[in-house]
A and B are shown apart, each in its own frame.
Chain A
Amino acid sequence: MQRLDIKFSKEIGSYDKFNAAQCFNCGTCTALCPMGINILPRILFRYVLMGMKDKLMENKDAIYSCLLCRMCEDNCPEGVRIAENIRVLRRYIGRHVYGL
């Protein structure tokens, strides 16, 4: 069973640049991503929006594999700030998991 952590999605959502809620899950970003990792980036955003903290934590490698190259962002029809959103996830993990 998946635990939902609303506090977690609220904290990430409170970072002013995090705008993943604009994503309508079209898949353009995943198709263009040079990393070829299926969950990069849109499924990660779904995990956050739904409060699936454990799922996000299981995928730390994918989060840190993002090149921040913005190939996805430049082609996103909804103007999602994908690279900044990924940085926000790193910021959360850096603080709460790695104690940086």
Chain B
Amino acid sequence: MPLPIGDILGILTDNIRLRGSVLPLPKRLISAWADGLGIKEGGETIIYTGHMYQLIPSIKIMAEKMAGLENSILTRYFWMGRIANKAVNLITFMGSPSPEEQARYNNYLRNIAMLLKEAEVDFGCLFERELYTGALIFDQGIDHVFEMHARKVYRLLKENKVRRVITVDPHTTNMLRTIYPKFIKGYDLEVASYLEVLCEQDTDARNPLDADLVIHDSCVYARHEGVTKEPRLLLKKTGARLHEPELSERLTHCCGGPIESLFPGKAHEIARKRLGQLAECGNKITTMCPICLVNLQGAAAKADVDLKVTDISEYLAKAYCAHV
């Protein structure tokens, strides 16, 4: 039997209502990435993670469990899970990611913060007070719950006198820049992705990269937010040689991630197809979205050839930062 759409959406929606996130994580896990970086608390300009990178190791565990349940008889009992989840956060029973795995994703955020510092951007952070943006329930059309949540996020930012938000991934950028203003009258935050901010700052790379990189554009950055030239400009300045698949920039092909929680089998098929298109251009692939990263890495792990899929921040930090 396929996974029960209604029960899964119910669990995700209940989590947002009751616990403020589709996959509620311990507060400490949300802000651990910033340890020792000396980022100030709050300020008019802040970096906003939207929890996306921190969530990936837990999303991976959940996705593996879901893939195991797809087409199994156990799908019949999901309704019980929904009832239980109202009382106890079931995510905590799914198992925790290893500290190394969590550190790897935290490290992408550290890279981004260091890149901004290197480019002399003055920014703070809300650390544990930050909230997930609600992107997943927006996509599923659960607008009344999404709207309530978006207002809560906006209130948090306004109470902290934030005026400018620097985002780290396409989904958070899209929510805070394009979607929230449609739901909140008078929304007045300035939102830019760190890739756009770094381009604006026009800094030069310190350490040239001798690498051939294949670029995978995120659908959300490319088609929803028009962010395509920035990652290319930044990578070109490093000296890396860029290779484009046939479907790139505004024509990019999805990684399959958006349907991972409801149709894991189909999501993996799409990731495999996209990875094949990318692999035709080279074996070092770079992504700019944590969802693309985890999906394409998953497909690469099952591929017959040796393919390396890495977040763009890894290459940028090596080239632009003094101590990486």
Contact = CB atoms under 8 A, between A and B. Distances in A.
Chain B CB within 10 A, most for which of A73, A97, A98: A98
B223 A74 contact: yes
Given A64-B259, A90-B141, A71 B266 contact: no
Contacts of A74: 223, 250-251
Interface footprint category on A = 20 to 34
A98 B250 contact: no
Contact of A34 (B6, B263, B270): B270
Contacts of A100: 6, 9-10, 13, 142, 145
Given A60-B5, A68-B258, A69-B223, A35 B140 contact: no
B117 interface: no
Chain B CB within 10 A, most for which of A65, A69, A87, A98: A69
A57 to B, nearest CB: 12
Nearest to B218: A69
Interface string A59-73: 011001111111101
Interface string A70-100: 1101100000000000011111111001111
Contact of A91 (B2, B143, B223): B143
Interface string A17-52: 000000000000000001100000000000000000
A66 B140 CA distance: 10
A19 to B, nearest CB: 15
A22 B254 CA distance: 25
A91 B147 CA distance: 13
A71 B270 CA distance: 14
B284 interface: no
Contact of B266 (A65, A70, A98): A65
B253 A34 contact: yes
Interface footprint category on B = 20 to 34
Nearest to B7: A98
Contacts of A90: 140-142
B73 to A, nearest CB: 19
A65 B267 CA distance: 9
B5 A98 contact: yes
Contact of B139 (A68, A73, A98): A68
B55 interface: no
A91 B250 CA distance: 27
A71 B141 contact: no
Nearest to A33: B254
Chain B CB within 10 A, most for which of A61, A89, A93, A94: A94
A67 B298 CA distance: 18
B5 A71 contact: no
Contacts of B143: 91
B262 interface: yes
A100 B144 CA distance: 9
Nearest to B262: A64
Interface of A: 34-35, 60-61, 64-71, 73-74, 87-94, 97-100
12 contacts: A64-B5, A65-B262, A65-B266, A67-B254, A68-B258, A71-B254, A87-B139, A90-B140, A91-B141, A93-B141, A98-B9, A100-B142
Interface of B: 2, 5-6, 9-10, 13, 138-143, 145, 219, 223-224, 250-251, 253-254, 256, 258-259, 262-263, 266, 270, 273
Given A64-B5, A69-B254, 19 more contacts: A34-B273, A61-B5, A64-B140, A65-B262, A66-B259, A67-B270, A69-B219, A69-B253, A70-B219, A71-B254, A73-B223, A74-B250, A91-B141, A91-B143, A97-B6, A98-B5, A98-B6, A98-B9, A100-B9
